[in-house]
Amino acid sequence: GIGVSALLKETGVVTYDPGFMNTASVESAITYIDGDEGVLLYRGYPIEELAAHSSFLEVSYLLTHGELPKHGQLEGWVERVERHTHLHDNFKALIGAFPANAHPMAVLSSAVSALPGYYPESVDPFDPQTVELATVLLLAKAPTIAAYAHRRALGQQMIGPHRGIGYVGDFLRMAFQPNGALYEVDPVMVKALDLLLILHADHEQNCSTSTVRIVGSSHANLYASVSAGINALSGPLHGGANEAVLRMLTEIRDSGGDASDFMRRVKDKEAGVRLMGFGHRVYKNYDPRAAIVKKMADEVLSKLGKRDDLLDIAMGLEDIALNDDYFIERKLYPNVDFYTGLLYKAMGFQTRMFTPLFAVGRMPGWIAQWREMMKDPATKIGRPRQVYVGPQRRSYTELEDR
Ligand code: ACO
């Protein structure tokens, strides 16, 4: 028979679906989520297995290429990405031109928008080699830009990459090496950050990814599309939630640490009071990423000797929520952001860097989704319909008659 979209077209019927709660806009073979069961698979592989055995760059290859790299392929891929981590010297000037108190998400999205200006040979969306180059360049330069933004915000001199200590190790070095001093990379931190990046690598058609796709559907280049995704991620209901969680935990601690009083205000729906880091459009069960981060936060913070009272407050809030009818009825569980901020903080990142770290992690997902869309013959320019509710036709009134 006739397909649903053809039927709607034929009958002139338009679906009204705010927030696209029930509208699939693509067929995708990248990420599978079962929100009721709390399942997350990248290209079929469970997130728990990837978290236990893989690395962020291997997962990036898997997402963007469809299969795990074979022996030899992985080394070549890692080598290629690490070879491109440096940035043109003018980039320091570009980032240095921002006021030191600029939000690093503004710096990151602007810098990614600027990249095609420096690499004009990598913008053709339909030439496979060019797309591969843009993929490598984006993955390679994201941590360098994020580290620059971090140092800029602290008023520190920006330092460039140094090969040989690994992608994540060098990211930490670029962020934290004191001016003119040596920096020893802590393997516990490298492992923790690598794992956090894996957990953020893709999450199918969320707000930022749908943004990347809709921008790319006009055949805008990969950088322009990803930069739009970074801006979508900056909102507090999406990537900004990890920042909001830490602010919430700090406020609870500073006002005496009474978690139950805060929860009362959440349940009373006091204006602006939500349990940040809880709830998800798709997960109506424990977010499998949150389970992994929670376990790691406990382990890593203890190992680093940085277990703090905010973790106890977070665990206390979770305990209350998991036993409270308000949260049970609405199926509200911790999402990935509930515990990530505590880890980023223990690593030494300022709260404002949390969302840029999410963006570095989400980079392979955005790229993979954009690549899939560009190859899909069913792709059309994104152009939703609307239900018009404004005034009927009326005539212009002169200013003096209004
Ligand atoms: N705290 C308290 N109540 C909540 C919360 C929360 N965090 N989240 C949802 N609710 C309530 C709503 O008030 C609503 O109650 P009602 O039925 O009485 O009206 C019900 O649960 C359903 O919530 P919606 O807002 O309709 O759910 P939606 O799917 O639109 O929103 C969202 C999902 C935006 C994630 C929401 O749960 C939220 O704001 N959470 C806090 C912010 C957050 O953590 N965002 C990160 C998302 S994950 C990510 O981007 C990586």
Mean pLDDT for each 10-residue chunk of the chain (402 residues)? 67 88 95 95 98 98 98 96 94 93 95 96 94 98 97 93 94 92 90 97 97 98 98 90 91 91 94 92 91 89 84 91 94 92 91 95 98 97 94 97 95
Q: Which atom of ligand 1 is nearest to the CA of 203?
A: 51
In this prediction, residue 302 carries a pLDDT of: 85
In this prediction, residue 301 carries a pLDDT of: 86
Q: What is the DSSP annotation of 152-217?
A: HHTTPPP----TTS-HHHHHHHHHHPPTTS--PPPHHHHHHHHHHHHHHS--SS-HHHHHHHHHHT
Confirm or reject: Cβ of 279 under 6 Å from ligand 1: yes
Q: Ligand 1 centre and the CA of 280: distance in Å?
A: 6
Which amino acid residue places its CA nearest to atom 30 of ligand 1?
281
Confirm or reject: Cβ of 277 under 6 Å from ligand 1: yes
Of 337, 301, 314, 296, which Cα lies nearest the Cα of 249?
314
In this prediction, residue 5 carries a pLDDT of: 67
Q: Residue 136: which residues within 8 A CB-CB, separation 6 or more?
A: 80, 81, 84
Confirm or reject: Cβ of 40 under 6 Å from ligand 1: no
Q: Give pTM, 2 decimals.
A: 0.92
Which amino acid residue places its CA nearest to atom 32 of ligand 1?
280
| Helix (H) or strand (E) run with residue 42 in it | strand 39-42
CB-CB neighbours of 72 under 10 Å: 8
Mutate to test the pocket of ligand 1, among 270, 330, 336, 354 (most ligand atoms within 8 A of CB): 330
Confirm or reject: Cβ of 9 under 6 Å from ligand 1: no
Q: Ligand 1 centre and the CA of 316: distance in Å?
A: 19
Confirm or reject: Cβ of 280 under 6 Å from ligand 1: yes
Which amino acid residue places its CA nearest to atom 13 of ligand 1?
269
- Spatial distance between the Cα atoms of 322 and 90, rounded to a whole number of angstroms: 51
Catalytic residues: 280, 337
Confirm or reject: Cβ of 248 under 6 Å from ligand 1: no
Which amino acid residue places its CA nearest to atom 44 of ligand 1?
277
Give the chain's length: 402
